[in-house]
């Protein structure tokens, strides 16, 4: 049996002050006064029988005992935090974890989730970062991702085709009457999808390829979509990323030409999960949403 902890509040105050470098910063982190942190540390030092800090006018310096104590305390408090988060997340109802690319999650899935939550309040949906750049994970209930639908060991059900379309704000669209006008525009590029513009130009019959006036590159599609919404330039985007913005008028498609790739968006899951009640409800809802989407944008 372990003995009693020597003044838990003091240990927390010391660990935070050691990590932050001052009593003032620790007080801000703990939402208490600087005097309360200082007093708690002094009381801890008194109970331990040795100093943990050397106090200087311009800051704090850990003693040998303080340096030995702080890393273990930081690990312990982080472990407690993780444990509390895990217990807090426990629910009596079923839990469904879906891995999905950030851009599709932000601009297509999450805006529609309120409807699923309203009709299935007993199912807790957790959205995890997925997409082509992330491997499929066995702790996910399912994933929504783009590809050819051939993932070994997974059932894949097609949702809608992969369609690329240039989009921009209505203000920028006023100067765009033909794809050749993009020579004078700023093109928004996703670093690992740089070829999408070349692919779209080819699909739209624009040859030879040309160099635009300027390019702005982002690391993710989610960042690129936010940039186009903010009027930075013109992006070629997956249609589901921008369909809601097109419908609301925040973005427009300045050209009728679109490009449909051989890929599609799929719901994928392990065969062993096929009879999972939460997945069954989510699958039925998602397929219905995908059908409505295809009916609305099937001609694009």
pLDDT digits (tens, 9 = 90+) for 208-234: 666 788 999 998 899 999 999 999 999
Is residue 240 located within the same domain as residue 167?
A: yes
Mean pLDDT of 87-105: 78
The token pair that represents 244 in the structure block: 């809601």
- Tell me if 2 is assigned to some domain: no
Is residue 278 located within the same domain as residue 152?
A: yes
Is residue 255 located within the same domain as residue 166?
A: yes
pLDDT at position 216, please?
94
Specify the number of domains making up the chain.
Answer: 3
Last residue of a domain, one of 56, 89, 122: 89
Q: Give the Cα separation of 288 and 77 in Å (integer).
A: 45
Q: Domain with 145 in it: what CATH number?
A: 3.40.190.10
Is residue 217 located within the same domain as residue 84?
A: no
Is residue 19 located within the same domain as residue 78?
A: yes
- Residue 95 clears pLDDT 70, i.e. is over it: yes
Q: What is the pTM of this model?
A: 0.65
Q: Are 46 and 108 in contact (CB under 8 A)?
A: no
| DSSP output for the chain | -PPPPS-HHHHHHHHHHHHHSSHHHHHHHHTS-HHHHHHHHHHHHHHHTS-SEEEETTEEEE-HHHHHHHHHHHHHHHHHHHHHHHHHH--SS-EEEEEE-HHHIIIIIHHHHHHHHHH-TTPEEEEEE-STTS---TTSSEEEEEE-S--TT-EEEEEEEEEEEEEB-HHHHTT-SSGGGGGGSEEEEEGGGTHHHHHHHHHTT--S----SEEEEESSHHHHHHHHHTTS-EEEEEHHHHHHHHHHTSSB-SSS--EEEEEEEEEEE-GGGTT-HHHHHHHHHHHHHHHHHHHHHTT-
Mean pLDDT of 146-167: 91
Q: Are 167 and 297 in contact (CB under 8 A)?
A: no
- Tell me if 181 is assigned to some domain: yes
- Tell me if 48 is assigned to some domain: yes
- Residue 52 clears pLDDT 60, i.e. is over it: yes
Q: Give the Cα separation of 174 and 239 in Å (integer).
A: 21
pLDDT at position 1, please?
39
- Tell me if 116 is assigned to some domain: yes
Binned at pLDDT 50, 70 and 90, residue 260 comes out as low
Last residue of a domain, one of 67, 89, 111: 89
Q: Give the Cα separation of 44 and 38 in Å (integer).
A: 10
Is residue 242 located within the same domain as residue 115?
A: no
Is residue 166 located within the same domain as residue 254?
A: yes
Is residue 31 located within the same domain as residue 63?
A: yes
Is residue 118 located within the same domain as residue 240?
A: no
> Residue 239's closest CA among 263, 219, 205?
263
Is residue 254 located within the same domain as residue 172?
A: yes
Q: Give the Cα separation of 160 and 157 in Å (integer).
A: 10
- Tell me if 290 is assigned to some domain: no
pLDDT at position 207, please?
72
- Tell me if 3 is assigned to some domain: no
Neighbours of 5 (CB within 10 A): 9
Is residue 111 located within the same domain as residue 236?
A: no
- Tell me if 1 is assigned to some domain: no
Q: Domain with 64 in it: what CATH number?
A: 1.10.10.10
- Tell me if 299 is assigned to some domain: no
- Residue 90 clears pLDDT 60, i.e. is over it: no
Q: Which domain holds residue 174?
A: 162-262
Q: Give the Cα separation of 51 and 39 in Å (integer).
A: 13
> Residue 236's closest CA among 195, 276, 183, 293?
195
pLDDT at position 262, please?
66
Is residue 44 located within the same domain as residue 111?
A: no
């Amino acid at each position: 049996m372990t003995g009693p902890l020597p003044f838990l509040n003091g240990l927390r105050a010391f660990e935070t002050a050691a990590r932050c470098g001052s009593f003032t910063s620790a007080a801000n982190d703990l939402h208490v006064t600087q005097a309360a942190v200082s007093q708690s540390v002094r009381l801890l030092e008194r109970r331990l029988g040795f100093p943990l800090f050397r106090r200087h006018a311009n800051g704090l310096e850990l003693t040998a005992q303080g340096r030995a104590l702080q890393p273990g305390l930081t690990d312990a408090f982080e472990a407690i935090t993780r444990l509390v988060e895990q217990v807090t997340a426990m629910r009596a109802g079923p839990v469904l974890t879906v891995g999905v690319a950030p851009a599709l999650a932000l601009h297509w899935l999450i805006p529609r989730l309120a409807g699923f939550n309203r009709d299935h309040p007993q199912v807790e949906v957790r959205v995890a970062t997925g997409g082509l750049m992330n491997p499929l994970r066995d702790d996910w209930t399912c994933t929504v991702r783009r590809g050819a639908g051939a993932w070994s060991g997974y059932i894949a059900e097609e949702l809608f085709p992969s369609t690329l379309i240039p989009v921009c704000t209505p203000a920028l669209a006023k100067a765009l009457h033909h794809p050749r006008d993009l020579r004078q525009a700023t093109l928004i590029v996703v670093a690992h999808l740089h070829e999408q513009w070349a692919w779209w130009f080819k699909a739209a019959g624009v040859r030879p390829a040309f160099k635009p006036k300027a390019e702005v590159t982002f690391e993710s599609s989610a960042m690129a979509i936010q940039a186009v919404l903010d009027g930075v330039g013109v992006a070629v985007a997956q249609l589901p990323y921008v369909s809601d913005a097109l419908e609301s008028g925040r973005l427009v498609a300045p050209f009728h030409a679109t490009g449909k790739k051989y890929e599609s968006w799929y719901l994928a899951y392990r065969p062993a999960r096929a009879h999972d009640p939460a997945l069954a409800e989510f699958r039925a809802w998602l397929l219905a949403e995908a059908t409505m989407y295809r009916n609305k944008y099937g001609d694009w």
